[in-house]
Amino acid sequence: MNQQACPVNYKRVNVYLIKFYSSIVAALLMMFLLAGWKIPMYLVAVDFSIRVLLGVKYSPLCRALGLVLDYLQVKPREIDASTKQFAARVGMLFSVSVALLIWSGALTAARVVAVVFLVAVLAEVVLDFCIACWMESVWKSYFGRKGRHEQEQFFDRS
């Protein structure tokens, strides 16, 4: 039986902060796609990189959004951070890719990557469906529990 399992790392993250962050990222992506503003994409790439490489507490955007949530007295709802950390890594890949494509002058490619990134972000914000989390869960549920021989058999299928 093929059963999906959610990975767990026992670190906690505030789901409201992540949703707020994703909403801001979606707005900045739309600024780039609709108005052609390039600077927001550089800022998103830098902030995602700081968030992934150094941690949420060092991300300027996460810190600012955390202050807003505190000011609004929104009580945190904590969830396991494993899948959200994976999603943040994927988000960093997308945002850095868009920024590098813009910097290199490949604006059409940057827009294509930004649209895919925006779809993933909007799925999280609007539908509460994390594509990267789903991908990690499926990957780990299949490859995380099987031996090397079973994994090789999977790839040998014709």
Contact (Cβ atoms closer than 8 angstroms) between residue 146 and residue 13: no
Tens digits of residue pLDDT in 67-124: 888 888 888 788 766 667 778 888 899 999 999 999 999 999 999 999 999 998 898 8
Mean pLDDT of 43-70: 88
Contact (Cβ atoms closer than 8 angstroms) between residue 133 and residue 83: yes
Which of 23 and 153 is assigned the larger pLDDT? 23
Q: Is the pLDDT of residue 153 over 60?
A: no
Q: Is the pLDDT of residue 44 over 50?
A: yes
Task: Please tell me the predicted confidence (pLDDT) of residue 7.
Answer: 54
Tens digits of residue pLDDT in 92-101: 999 999 999 9
pTM over 0.85: no
Cα→Cα distances 130→19, 22, 63, 121, Å: 11, 11, 22, 8
List for the chain the helix, strand, coil content (%; round to 5): 75, 5, 20
Domain ranges, ordered by start, for the chain: 12-130
Contact (Cβ atoms closer than 8 angstroms) between residue 44 and residue 25: yes
